[in-house]
Amino acid sequence: MNVFDPTAPVAPTTLHVCTVPGLPASMRIVTTPTSTLAIGAAPWRHARRLAALPAFSGACLYILTGTEARIGKTTGLAARLRDHRRAMPMSRIDQVFVIASSGFGSDTITALEAILTQAARKAGVMPVVGAPLRVPPLDPARDRHLLHWLGEMPPLLLGAGCTLFDADFASAAERMADAATPPEERPATIGSGAIRQGWDESFPNDLLRSPATAHFVLERGGLRAQASVSGPWTVLRAGSLLTGSTETSDQIGVSRKRARLRERGLLEPAGSFQRLTRDIAVPSLTNGARLASGTNAPSTVWRAL
């Protein structure tokens, strides 16, 4: 029995999307008059503030999203998020969503964690980290409240901006965001064109000092790379730490480029990583991300400084 289907038709629902006085507008709480559910959403940098709200002080579920996703349960959200800040459970966290209800208990959130984790993996919007969880058998009479909450969640989650469970909606949302972004501001086109392939040690002298230059950082799995972008130029900065191996990459070109960089003395060992010894111009942020991570990482893994 599919007890959680975000793509199923739903009855008309009135959603209340509220900001919290005194807190950033990027934090919001989504509710509906017909449900005890409350869903909070915030950028990861504001997760502490979200966890401090009374609505999320008891048993709840949380969803972390970035290039991957993680779904968890807790009866102490503030402490759990502190633990995740100390030991990141995934390579990058951009957003946190919290699902709570005054009717939640420990058994409820345990079952919901397994059900939502399974649903997220099935949707395939992004990889879901964590061990597979066994979905418990549900009885329509005994578990009527849990089943009711599962039926209420999809529009609330979408209202909060969580598209993890609906691949079609997630793809449409990405297309809409891309269409609304001026071409010169899209990550895929920023910093593209000056270098067609490979790399170049020569680029405009004042590029790195110009106030018009944008600066980015990529941090995942211990690596830390920096890039600067101006017009058609993308420069991967000296001192960037790259992964030590490209064995996980299916791009042969990445391995070959790294080998040539080592031959030229532009990459040197740095513990389990490799350090770039001087600034080099590369074709794009996407190319720089793949060179740094040894994977098919997209340009969206870069964070603007």
The mean pLDDT of 38-66, rounded to a whole number, is: 95
pLDDT exceeds cutoff 90 at 89: no
Confidence of residue 175 (pLDDT cuts 50, 70, 90): very low
The mean pLDDT of 220-248, rounded to a whole number, is: 82
Q: What 8-state DSSP symbol labels residue 128?
A: B
Structure confidence at residue 78 (pLDDT): 96
Question: Cβ(20)–Cβ(29) under 8 Å?
Answer: yes
Question: Cβ(199)–Cβ(257) under 8 Å?
Answer: yes
Q: What is the DSSP string of 149-210?
A: HHHHHHHHHHHTT--TT-HHHHHHHHHHHHHHS-GGG-TTTTT-SS--SS-BS---TTTTT-
Distance CA 113, CA 204 (A): 52
Confidence of residue 252 (pLDDT cuts 50, 70, 90): low
Structure confidence at residue 42 (pLDDT): 93
Query: Which helix or strand (DSSP H or E) is residue 113 part of?
Result: helix 106-123
Structure confidence at residue 115 (pLDDT): 93
CA terminus-to-terminus distance, the chain: 46
Structure confidence at residue 101 (pLDDT): 96
Higher-scoring residue by pLDDT: 187, 228: 228
Question: Cβ(98)–Cβ(29) under 8 Å?
Answer: no
In this structure, what token pair is assigned to residue 3? 């007890």
Question: Cβ(142)–Cβ(150) under 8 Å?
Answer: no
